[in-house]
A and B are shown apart, each in its own frame.
Chain A
Amino acid sequence: MLLTISTTARPATDLGFLLHKHPDRVQEFGQSFGTATVFYPEAGERRCTAALLLDVDPIALARSRGKGSPDFSLSQYVNDRPYAASSLLAVALADVFRTARAGRCAARPELPGTPLPLEIGLPALPCRGGPELAGRLFEPLGWTVSAQAVPLDEGFPEWGDSRYVRLSLSGTVRLADALNHLYVLLPVLDDAKHYWIAPDEVDKLVRAGGGWLRGHPERGLISRRYLGRRWALARTALARLAELGDEPEERLEPAVAEEPAAGETAADELAAAAGSWPARDRPDDGPRDGEVPDRGTGDAGDGEAEPKARPLAVQRREAVLRTLEDLGAVSVIDLGCGQGALVGALLATPRFARVAGMDVSAMALTIAARKLRPERMPDSKRARLTLFQGALTYTDKRLSGYDAAVLMEVVEHVDPPRLAALERVVFGHARPEHVIVTTPNIEYNVRYEFLTGLRHPDHRFEWTRAEFAGWAARVAGEHGYRVTLRPVGEEDPEVGPPTQMGVFTRDQRS
C-alpha cells in the first residue's frame, strides 16, 4: 500500500519533475479498487521523498471483480491487498506515474536519461520465495537490496516469518527503469493467483521489460509468474469447499502439474517476443503429477534444459504403450488420466480404436482437453476419444467395455482404506481383460538426492517391491486375474527400478 521513492541527487526536488507530481501538493488518483495518493513526506535540496499511498477498499475490490471471479471466497474480503505492496500497487504505479515510466520529462528533457541515486522503500512486500528471491531479482538490475522478513505474529513466535519482507533498494538507476522494475517485479514477487490474467499481459510485460528482461538471469521465473496461473479460472466451487474445510485453497489443487499446453499462446508469444529463453511447451517431457523428476532431469522448471536422459514419465508411458500393444488391446481406458499425456499418445497410435480418459479432477480434464484439442481433430480421430469425470471409488458403467484399463501412478493417490473400493470398481465391476498398474517403488527413493518423504505431497503411500507384489497377487487372486510384474526405468541392482508395473490379465474362465 505504501511505496516511497527518495533521491539524494542535487537538487533532490527534481524528483517532482521526473514524476510529474509537485512536491508541495497532495494529489489523489481514483482507481477501480480504491484511491492512490501521492505526497512528499520530505522535499529538501539534499533529499526528497515521494510517497505513493494506495488506499484499497476491499469492498470495492470485491465488487470490481464480479461474482464470477475466481476469488469469490472469503479471501477476497479478508486479504492483504489493503496493506501489501501487491500487484495492485503496480497497477496504481503504472497509472499514476505513466509519463515518468515512459521516460518523458518536458521540463527537464535531460533528466530521464540520467541515472540518479535512488532509494526505494516498501514496508510490506509479499515475497513468495523469501527475502533471498528479492535479492536475486533486483540485484542483477543494479540495486543494493535489503530485504528483512516480517514476522507473522509476535504473539506466536513458533509461526515464524510471514511471506512479507520490508524491502529497501538503493542504487543509481534511471527513474523510468526503476519504475518499470517495480511494475514487473512486484507482481512477480507477489505471485498472487488472481490479478493478472488478461490477454494483453504479454504485451505489457514485453513493453515494460524492454531492455533489461532479456538479459536477466531469472527471466524464466519472471515471465512465468508474471503471466499468472492461468488455470485458476475454473476453481470457484472447489475453492469454496477448501475454505469451508479450513484449508488453504492450494490444498485442493489437482495432483497434476500446471504446465502450459503445447503451443498455447502466452508462453510462445513471450518466447518469440522477448528473445531466446527456452520455451516450456513440452508437457511430454515433464514428470507426471509434478512428482520428483528422475535423476538427470535437473531443474524441470526455471533453468535452461540440459541434455538429459529420457525422463521417467516418458519411459513409463512408453512402457505402458508397449505393453498395451503386446497385449493386443484395441480399446483402452486411462483411469486417472490427469492432463492426458497417455491419452494423447494412445490417440496418436491408430491401432487403439477407442481411447477414454477418466479423472476425478474437473480441472485436470479441462487441461487435458486444452492440450488434446479435440475440436481441432479430424472427426475420425475425435470419435475415438472420450474424456469424463469419475471417481475410482464409485462403481461406474462407463468404465466397462474396454480391453484394457490403465492405472498409471494412481493407486498411491488413494487412501489405503479406500483401496478396497477401487479394487472392486476396477477388477470386480469394470473387469477389463487387462489392467496395467504402475506405482512408485519406495525403495528407490534413496536414489533421489533431495527427496524427503514421498515423491508427491498427494501420495498417500508408496510401496516397496514386496508390498506391491503382495497387493497385486491378492487382488489378482480375489478377482480372477493373473498378474506379472515388470520394472520400469533403469533397474538399480540394490533398490530395484524407480517404477513398478503390474500387468493383470483376466482368467479365461472368469
Chain B
Amino acid sequence: MISVPELSLVVLVGVSGSGKSTFAARHFRPTQVISSDFCRGLVSDDENDQSATPAAFELLHHIVGTRLSRGLLTVVDATNVQYAARKALIDLARRHDVLADAIVLDVPEEVAIRRNAARPERDFGAGVVIRQRKDLRRSLGKISRDGFRKVHVLRGLDAIDDATVSYEKAWTDRRDLTGPFDIIGDVHGCRAELESLLRRLGWVIERVGGQAVSARHPEARTAVFVGDLVDRGPDTPGVLRLVMGMVEAGAAICVAGNHEQKLVRALNGRAVKTTHGLRESLDQLGAGPPEFAERARAFMDGLISHYRLDGGRLVVAHAGLKEAYHGRASGRVRAFALYGDTTGETDEYGLPVRYPWAEEYRGRAMVVYGHTPTVHPEWVNNTICLDTGCVFGGSLTALRYPERELVQVPAEQVWYASVKPLGGPARDPAMLDIGDVQGTRHVETRFGTRVKVLEENAAAALEVMSRFAVDPRWLVYLPPTMAPPETSRLDGFLEHPHEAFEEFAAAGVTEVVCEEKHMGSRAVAVLARTPEVAAARFGVTDGGSGTVYTRTGRPFFGDLAPLVDGLREACEPLWTALGSDWVALDCELLPWSAKAGELIRAQYASVGAAARAALPEAVSALEAAAGRGLDVGGLLDRTRRRAGNAALFRDAYARYCWPVDGLDGVRLAPFQILACEGRATALEPHAWHLSTLALLDSPLITPTRHVFVSLDSAESRAGAVAWWEALTAAGGEGMVVKPAVHTPGRVQPGVKVRGREYLRIIYGPDYTESLDVLRRRFLGKKRSMALREHALGLEALSRLADGDPGWRVHEPVFAVLALESEPVDPRL
C-alpha cells in the first residue's frame, strides 16, 4: 500500500512502457495526472515529436505549478528516470511548499519493449527503453537522497498490479476539530498566571501532589496554545507539566514556538547561546528529575508548525502565517510559523525587524498567533496576536473562539525585563489596497451568492469612488438597485401592484409591506452620536460625526454639517431604542431637485422647454396646411396629442421640485435602519423598521406611509391597490412592495410599482402612445442585478456589524458600485 500526502506532488518514475499512465489512471483522477506526452501533444500536435520536449516540459511545469499553488494534489506522468528531471520537479514542489513523493514502477526490460512495440505511435526502437532503464538503475541507488518525502518502489508487474494508494492527512490538518476553542497566548513559564487564566475560562485544573498536571473544561472546550510555553518565566517545568497533561488528555493542542525549538536543540546537546531566557529553562529543568526533562524534550520536539482548525476557518501558528502557507509543509513555512516574516534587518534593540504580513493578509481564515508582545491585542485583517507580554509584566491573554471574546489576567509581577518597550504594531485596518477592488473579482457573501465583478466595471467604480465618494470609512453601504415587477397587461399601465403580489405569493411569501416611494434622491445617512463615537467606531478624526451620501457614494451637499447635525438631533430617540450610539439609515432625500437640480434642468426641464416651444408651432403649421386642404389629419392629431403629453410631462417632474434654501425645505424619509453597533439590522422585519423609525419626530423627517398586505386575502390586496391608485393619482411616484420579513433565496427583496404619470419622466412624454412596444421589456438582468447587489449590501452591513476591518466592508460596497455601472435598461 502506498500512502501519499493529501496535498503533494506525486512523481511517477519508470521507463517508457512501464505502465505509468495505466497506473495513474487506475489510482488518480484524470485531472490530477499531467503527462509529458499530453503536454508534448499540446505544443506540437504530435505526442512523439521529441523536438517539442523542452516546450512540453515548460508547459508541464506551468500546469503543475498552477495546480500546486491552488492546493491540488498533482501527479506527474513522465519517465523521470534522470536526476535532473526529478530535481526540477522537487524544486517546483518546494516553491509551492508542498511535499513530493516518488512512485517507481520497475518492470522487466522485455515487458516494456514488448508494450512499446505493440503501440504503433511509439516507433522508437528497443534502444530507448534500454537506455532509460540504465538511467533508472543508476537512479534507484540514490533516489532516496533526491529530496522526496518518500520513495515508493514497486518492483515487478505483480507489485504494480496489487498496489493501492491511500492519502495521509497533513499533520497540520485538524479541520475536523471544530472547537469551541480557548486559544492562549505566549505563557513563557508563567504557570501561576496560566492557572488563573484557565480558571477564569472555566477550566477545572487537576492536581497531583499539589502540582497542576492537567485540566478539563466542563463544556468540553479545547485549549490551543500558540507556543512559547517556555523560557524567561519562573516555572517553565510547571507550565510544561500542565500543558503536556492537557494535550495527552486530548483537551489541548499546541503548536511549536521558537523558544521550544531552541530549547529542544539545547536539550539535544547542541551548542546554542543561552540568551533570551533559555538559561532559566535549562536551570529549572536541570533541577528536576531527568525523566521529566526527557518527557518535555520529546513533547516539544514533536510540536508542529501550525494547525488548520474548524473546517479551515481558523489557523493557529506561533508567529502567524500568510495565506499561501496555510496547510503547506516546507522549511520556509515552518520558519515563518516560528519566527514570522523578517526583513533580515535588526532594530535599535538588536531584535529582528518583522515584516508586517498581517497588514497585507487578505485570507478568509482567521489567523491567531503570538510571538510579538503587544500592549493590546488588536484585530488586523482577521488576524490577532495574543502575546501581551505576561512574562514582562503585561498580561496573559486568551481568545474564545468562535465567540471572538478576549479574556485576560494580569501578570503577578515583572518576571523578566524586556529590552524593548511593549508596543503595538503600526497598522491601519482602514487602509484600502488596490487589490481589494481592482480587476475581475469575486466577492463572497453569506447570503447565498458569490458575486462576480468585471474588470471594466471595477475600473469605472474606482474612478467614481476615488474622485467623488465620501471617505470610505463612512461609506459602509450602497443601496442596491430595485427591479419593477413583471410588466402589466392592464390597459394604460406598464406597472401595476397585481404583478408584484403575484410574484411574491408564487415565491411563498404570505405577507408583504407596501411602502410609499418618496420621489427624491436615495440617501444613506451614517450618523454618530458624537465626534468621539465617530473617531472610535469609524476612525474618522476630523471632528465630523456623520455623513449623508447618494447612491454612488457622493456627499449630498458641499457642506454636510448642518444636515448631519440636524439628523443627529432628530435621531436622538434611536440611541436608546437601539442601544447604540451610531446608526446607518436608508432614506430618500426630498425634494428631488435638492440634489438633482442640475440634472433636472439639463435633461427633464430642457425636454419640456423644447417641446413647449416646438409643438405649438408645429400644430399651427399643420393647421395652416390643413386649411389649404392638404391631408395632414393623422399627423395633426398626433402632434396635438403630443403637445398634451408634453404638458403632463412637465407637471410630472415639476411635482418633485421645490426650492430649498440651505436646510430649509430639505426633508429626509428614512425607511430602513441598516445597522447599528453589533447588528446588521437590515435583516429585521419591516414592521420593526417602520415602528422604530416612527419614534423620530422632527420637521426634518418625513414618515413613510405604508400598508401591510396579507397575500392570501383578496380584500387585503384590493385595499393596497386602491391605496396605490390614490397615492399615484395624487402625484406620488408609486410604492415599493417588500416581503414583510427577510426572505432568503432568490426572492426579490422588493419591487417598485411606479405610477402612470411618474413613468413619463422615465419613458418619455409620449410613452403612453407606444405601450405595446414598451411592454416587450426585458427584466431578467435587472432582477438578477438587484439580487446580487442586495446580497452585497447585506454582506457589507454584516461585516460592519462583525467589526471587520475597513477593507472588508469596502469590498462589497465597492462591488455594488461596480455592478451599477453594468449596462442594463436604465428605465427599469
- Listed A/B pairs (18) with beta-carbon separation below 8 Å: A41-B621, A59-B773, A74-B826, A80-B606, A83-B610, A153-B608, A153-B654, A156-B605, A156-B657, A159-B605, A162-B605, A166-B613, A238-B460, A392-B466, A394-B437, A395-B433, A413-B467, A418-B471
Q: Which of A389-404 touch B at CB < 8 Å? A: 389-398
Decide: B609 and A40 in contact? CB cutoff 8 A.
Answer: no
State in angstroms the CA–CA spacing of A241 and B609 once bound together: 26
Q: Which residues of B (735-788) have their CB < 8 Å from a CB of A? A: 761-766, 770, 773-774
Q: A39-B622, A244-B820 are in contact. List 11 more A-B contacts (CB 8 A).
A: A2-B617, A4-B621, A24-B628, A43-B628, A78-B763, A84-B610, A164-B610, A241-B552, A245-B468, A245-B554, A254-B463
A360 on interface, CB distance cutoff 8 Å: yes
Is A214's beta carbon under 8 Å from chain B?
no
Residues on B with beta carbons closer than 8 Å to the beta carbon of A126: 610
B542 on interface, CB distance cutoff 8 Å = yes
Contact yes or no, A237 B624, CB < 8 A: no
Report the stretch among B9-17, B406-414, B596-604, B723-731 that lies at the interface: B596-604
Contacts A80-B607, A246-B599 given: A361-B654 contact, CB under 8 Å? Answer: no
Query: What is the CA–CA distance of A155 and B659 in the complex, to the nearest angstrom?
Result: 11
Taking CB atoms and an 8 Å cut-off, the chain B residues in 618-663 that contact chain A are 618, 620-622, 624-625, 628, 630-632, 635, 638-639, 642, 646, 650, 654, 657, 659
User: For chain A residues 327-377, which have a beta carbon within 8 Å of chain B?
Assistant: 360-362
Residue of A nearest to B615 (CB): A83
* Assembled-state Cα–Cα distance A433/B765 (Å): 61
A347-B631 Cα distance, complex, nearest whole Å: 69
CB-based contact B433/A150 at 8 Å: no
Q: How far is the CB of B101 from chain A (nearest CB, A)?
A: 35
Q: Is the CB of A124 within 8 A of B614?
A: yes
Q: Which chain B positions have C-beta within 8 A of A78?
A: 603-604, 607, 761-765
Q: Is A65 an interface residue (CB 8 A)?
A: no
Check if B433 sits within 8 Å of A238, measured CB to CB: no
Interface digits, B794-826 against A, CB 8 Å rule (1 contact, 0 not)? 000000000000000000000001001111001
B609 lies within 8 A of A390 (CB): no
Q: Quick one: which of A40-98 are within 8 Å of B by CB?
A: 40-43, 49, 51, 53, 55, 57-59, 67, 72-75, 77-80, 82-85
Binding site for B on A (CB under 8 A): 1-2, 4, 24-26, 37, 39-43, 49, 51, 53, 55, 57-59, 67, 72-75, 77-80, 82-85, 121, 123-124, 126, 150-153, 155-156, 158-159, 162-164, 166, 236-238, 240-241, 243-248, 251-252, 254-255, 360-362, 389-398, 413, 415, 417-418, 421, 424, 458
Nearest chain-B residue to A246 (Cβ)? B596
- For B607, give its contact among A79, A240, A389, A395 (CB under 8 Å): A79
Chain B's nearest CB lies how many Å from the CB of A399?
Answer: 9
User: Would B456 and A237 count as touching, CB distance under 8 A?
Assistant: yes
Distance of A78 from chain B, by nearest CB (Å): 5
User: Could you say which residues of chain A place their CB within 8 Å of the CB of B823?
Assistant: 67, 72, 236-237, 240
B611 CB-CB contact with A under 8 Å: yes
Which of the residues B467, B614, B826 comes within 8 Å of A240, measured between beta carbons? B826
B632 x A26 contact (CB < 8 A): yes
Do most interface residues of chain B lie in helix, strand or loop, or is the interface mixed?
helix
Query: Are B463 and A26 in contact (CB-based, < 8 A)?
Result: no
Contact pick for B609, options A57, A151, A247, A389, CB 8 Å: A151
The chain B residues found within 8 Å of chain A, CB to CB, are 428, 431-438, 456-457, 459-468, 471-472, 521, 540, 542, 544, 550-552, 554, 592, 595-596, 598-599, 601-615, 617-618, 620-622, 624-625, 628, 630-632, 635, 638-639, 642, 646, 650, 654, 657, 659, 761-766, 770, 773-774, 817, 820-823, 826-827
Query: Which chain B residue has the least Cβ–Cβ distance from A458?
Result: B467
Query: Considering the chains assembled together, what is the distance between the CA atoms of A148 and B291 in angstroms?
Result: 107
Contact A238 B821 (CB under 8 A): yes
Roughly how many angstroms separate A73 CA and B615 CA in the complex, as a whole number?
Answer: 25
Is B614 touching A83 in the complex (CB atoms < 8 A)? Answer: yes
Do B603 and A42 touch across chains, with their CB atoms under 8 A apart?
A: no
**Contact assessment for A59 and B770 in the assembled complex, using a CB-CB cutoff below 8 Å:** yes
Residue of B nearest to A255 (CB): B467
Decide if B610 touches A417 in the complex (CB within 8 Å).
no
Contacts of B610 in A (CB 8 A): 80, 83-84, 124, 126, 150, 162, 164
Q: Which residues of B contact A241 (CB under 8 A)?
A: 460-461, 464, 552, 817, 820-821
Do A424 and B431 form a contact, CB below 8 Å, given A77-B827, A245-B550, A246-B595? Answer: yes
Residue of A nearest to B520 (CB): A246
Say yes or no: A395 contacts B434, CB within 8 Å: yes
Chain A residues with CB below 8 A from B617, complex form: 2, 121, 123
Q: Give, as a whole number of angstroms, the nearest-CB distance from B5 to chain A.
A: 32
Q: Tell me which of B550, B614, B764 has the highest count of chain A C-beta atoms within 10 A of its own C-beta.
A: B614
A126 CA / B770 CA spacing, docked (Å): 26
Chain A proximity of B314: nearest CB distance (Å): 27
Q: Which residue of A lies closest to B657 (CB)?
A: A156
Max chain B C-beta neighbours (<10 A), residue from A4, A153, A362: A153
Contact B460 A40 (CB under 8 A): no
Closest to A75 in B: B603
A83 to B611, CA, bound (A): 5
Known: A248-B603, A394-B436. A150 touches B609 (CB 8 A): yes
Residues of A contacting B540 in the complex (Cβ-Cβ under 8 angstroms): 417
* Interchain CA distance A502-B262 in the complex, whole Å: 51
Alpha-carbon gap, A106 to B28, bound state (A): 87
CA distance A421 to B432 in the complex (A): 9
B459 touches A389 (CB 8 A): yes
* Residue contact A158 to B659, C-beta cutoff 8 Å: yes
- Cα–Cα distance between A438 and B810 once the two chains are bound (Å): 31
Bound-complex Cα distance A237 to B461 (A): 9
Chain B residues with CB under 8 Å of A82's CB are: 611, 642, 764, 766
- Find chain A residues with CB under 8 A from B468 CB: 245, 252
A153-B605 contact given A59-B773, A67-B823, CB 8 Å threshold: yes
Alpha-carbon separation in the docked complex, A125 to B610 (Å): 8
State A51–B610 Cα separation when bound (angstroms): 18
Cα–Cα, bound, A395→B761 (Å): 42
A189 CA to B483 CA in the complex, in Å?
Answer: 38
Q: Which 5 A-B pairs have the closest CB atoms?
A: A391-B466, A41-B624, A246-B596, A237-B460, A245-B552
In the bound complex, CA of A1 to CA of B609 (Å) = 13
> Which residues on A sit within 8 Å (CB–CB) of B437?
394
Determine if A238 and B463 form an interchain contact, defined as CB atoms under 8 angstroms apart.
yes
Q: How far is the CB of B431 from chain A (nearest CB, A)?
A: 6
Task: Report the minimal beta-carbon distance from A403 to chain B, rounded to whole angstroms.
Answer: 21
Q: How far is the CA of A396 from the CA of B432 in the complex (A)?
A: 9
Please determine whether B460 and A41 come into contact, CB atoms closer than 8 angstroms: no
Decide: A360 near B598, CB < 8 A? Known: A241-B820, A244-B552.
no
Cβ–Cβ < 8 Å partners of B764 in chain A: 58, 77-78, 82
Q: Give the distance in Å from the alpha carbon of A74 to the alpha carbon of B767 in the complex.
A: 14
Interface centre among A73, A155, A241, A458 (most CB of B within 10 A): A241
Contacts of B598 in A (CB 8 A): 247-248, 251
Report whether A53 and B622 are in contact in the complex, using a CB–CB cutoff of 8 Å.
yes
Please report the C-alpha to C-alpha distance between residue A55 and residue B431 in the assembled complex, in whole angstroms: 55
- Select which of B432, B460, B605, B762 is within 8 A of A394 by beta carbon: B432
Contact B774 A59 (CB under 8 A): yes
Question: For residue B638, which residues in chain A have a CB less than 8 angstroms away from its CB?
Answer: 55
Q: Which residues of A contact B611 (CB under 8 A)?
A: 80, 82-83, 124
Closest partner residue, chain A, to B359 (CB atom)? A395
Q: Are B601 and A159 closer than 8 Å at their CB atoms?
A: yes
> In chain A, what residue has the closest Cβ to B609?
A162
Closest chain B CB from A333 CB (angstroms) = 14
Complex CA gap A396/B434 in Å reads 5
Residues of B contacting A395 in the complex (Cβ-Cβ under 8 angstroms):
431-434
B550 near A124: Cβ-Cβ < 8 Å: no
Measured in the bound complex, the distance between the Cα atoms of B595 and A244 in whole Å is 12
**B contact residues around A390 at 8 Å (CB):** 434, 438, 462
A401 smallest CB distance to B (angstroms): 15
Nearest B residue to A77 via CB reads B764
C-alpha gap A162/B607 in the complex (Å):
9
